């Protein structure tokens, strides 16, 4: 453990610390004025001293809209000059969400990421290949600073330039890989194509993957491809970035939430009422110690459940389950609500299906049909030449196999269609497309859902 006193703190001591920090936070928010102070006043709160953890559910919430409404610096609780860095996400719809950090915030964030790396088995000197994107996105620099805080050796590979990443992994022999799950698959393909597999002595022992919803089935695929333990990390820029919660390599059955700094609640998405432990609902965080952008009860839109109890690793921090998806990722297909991750679980339960897939919402005839485009595994992995397919739509082999239906009704797709109907009550067309057709993600988050309203199919090889 990087901070055992905090990570293995007895429950009563933790509750006392959280209460004290919550009170200080409320006083700071009131002193800062602005949106959150106004809402606290409306709720009748005039000072932190009158608030306890039991009152949390009565306090006002915040959400992404508040950040947009006050863009870029409106929610600051410190003078603008004390902000030493900004990060953010491009967000859906192109409107950025910007968040600010003081020096103290960066130090806290580094410690949270150092905790995540230590929980994956890293320590001073461990070589960490960091393939999260560096930039406004919090993934790259968050892990980078955490690795330095831990005293590990970080390789700032960032996203993309996969051939160079393969070379670095072969030469530097890192033990830890950090990137999105979809890029881990991409790297696994490229490493296998270069003859580097677990059997030929790949050095990786653990991977810390996040920034996308991913299923245990995807995790299993990554573990086989890369011969490592695939661990989940959770965070969002509004709360601090990666490091809000992470899995330990000892149990690897849920993400320890750093609740000494991030108070977590699970709310009913519709009513905002708190849900009991074990029930799935919307993760909501209160940043207890952040300085520049402290947020009270920030509703993330991410769906998960929490459980308590001491972990075999010794941590007492509660665990959240893997995020199933976001409220706004939910697909509504002919009246059935479904998260893409639920479809992923069914698709990847079939060993013959490659881990890259795309869900196409076919709206061409005014309807809303769902097509799952999958590739069949070829050989050991879905390895196929990477050249020419990183630019989907840019004339990548349009004439070769496109045009005719590529085994649309073979046994495999029929089996999957049947299983999707049984499991999710959903009629999905499963289209097996030629290997390499599903666009791979080199940089940024994977786009697993595409719309098809007119014209050419969004996935080459998908027959109309």
**Which positions touch Zn ion (CB under 5 A)?**
248, 251, 311, 313, 315
Pick between residue 311 and residue 416 the one whose CB is nearest to Zn ion. 311
In whole angstroms, the minimum distance from the beta carbon of 221 to Zn ion comes to 23
Say which residues have a Cβ less than 8 Å from residue 231's Cβ, sequence separation at least 6. Answer: 119, 120, 206, 207, 208, 209, 246, 247, 248, 249, 252
Q: Which residue from 65, 75, 95, 4 is spatially nearest to 34, judged by alpha carbons?
A: 75
Nearer Cβ to Zn ion (210/444): 210
Nearer to Zn ion, 311 or 338 (CB): 311
CA dihedral 439, 441, 446, 452 (to 10 degrees): -20
Question: Among candidates 392, 360, 376, 380, which has minimal Cα distance to 435?
Answer: 376
Residue 117, CA distances (Å) to 166, 304, 310 in order: 22, 22, 20
* Pick from 116, 101, 119, 120: nearest CA to 146: 116
Q: Is 40 helix (H, G, I), strand (E, B) or coil?
A: helix
Least Å distance between CB 313 and Zn ion? 3
Q: How many CA atoms lie within 13 A of 287 on its CB side?
A: 28
Runs of H (alpha helix) within 158-298: 162-172, 181-193, 216-226
- State both tokens at 293: 């952008």
Measure the CA–CA gap between 302 and 107, rounded to whole angstroms: 26
On whether the CB atoms of residues 445 and 211 are closer than 8 A, the answer is yes
What strands lie across the sheet with 428-433, from one edge to the other?
428-433, 369-376, 353-362, 449-452
Q: How far is CA 63 from the centre of its chain?
A: 18
């Amino acid at each position: 453990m990087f901070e055992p006193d905090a990570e293995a703190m007895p429950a009563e001591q933790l509750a006392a610390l959280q209460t004290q920090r919550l009170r200080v936070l409320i006083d700071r928010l009131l002193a800062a004025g602005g949106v959150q102070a106004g809402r606290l006043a409306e709720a009748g709160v005039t000072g932190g001293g009158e608030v306890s953890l039991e009152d949390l559910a009565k306090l006002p919430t915040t959400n992404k809209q508040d950040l947009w409404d006050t863009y870029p610096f409106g929610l600051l609780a410190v003078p603008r000059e004390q902000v030493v860095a900004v990060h953010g996400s491009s967000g859906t719809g192109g409107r950025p969400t910007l968040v600010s950090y003081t020096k103290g915030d960066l130090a806290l964030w580094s410690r949270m990421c150092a905790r995540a790396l230590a929980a994956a088995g890293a320590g001073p000197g461990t070589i960490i290949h960091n393939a999260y994107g560096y930039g406004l996105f919090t993934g790259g620099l968050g892990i980078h600073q955490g690795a330095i805080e831990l005293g590990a050796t970080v390789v700032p590979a960032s996203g993309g330039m996969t051939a160079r990443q393969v070379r670095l992994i072969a030469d530097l022999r890192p033990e830890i890989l950090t990137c999105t799950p979809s890029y881990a698959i991409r790297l696994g393909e490229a490493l296998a194509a270069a003859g580097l597999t677990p059997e030929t002595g790949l050095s990786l022992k653990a991977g810390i993957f996040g920034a996308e919803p991913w299923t245990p089935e995807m995790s299993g695929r990554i573990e086989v491809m890369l011969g490592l333990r695939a661990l989940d990390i959770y965070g969002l820029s509004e709360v601090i970035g990666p490091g809000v919660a992470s899995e330990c390599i000892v149990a690897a059955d849920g993400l320890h939430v750093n609740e000494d700094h991030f108070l977590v609640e699970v709310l009913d998405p519709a009513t905002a009422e708190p849900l009991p432990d074990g029930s799935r609902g919307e993760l909501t965080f209160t940043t207890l110690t952040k300085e520049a952008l402290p947020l009270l009860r920030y509703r993330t839109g991410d769906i998960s459940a929490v459980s308590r109890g001491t972990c075999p690793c010794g941590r007492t921090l509660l665990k959240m389950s893997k995020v199933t998806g976001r409220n706004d990722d939910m697909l509504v297909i002919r009246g059935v609500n479904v998260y893409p991750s639920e479809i992923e679980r069914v698709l990847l339960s079939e060993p013959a299906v490659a881990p890259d897939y795309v869900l196409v919402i076919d709206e061409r005839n005014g309807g809303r049909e769902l097509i799952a485009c999958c590739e069949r595994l070829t050989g050991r992995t879905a390895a196929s030449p990477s050249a020419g397919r990183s630019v989907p739509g840019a004339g990548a082999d349009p004439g070769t196999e496109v045009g005719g239906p590529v085994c649309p009704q073979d046994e495999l797709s029929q089996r999957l269609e049947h299983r999707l109907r049984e499991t999710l009550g959903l009629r999905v067309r499963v289209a097996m497309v030629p290997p390499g057709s599903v666009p791979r993600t080199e940089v940024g988050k994977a786009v697993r859902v595409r719309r098809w309203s007119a014209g050419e199919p969004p996935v080459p090889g998908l027959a109309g």
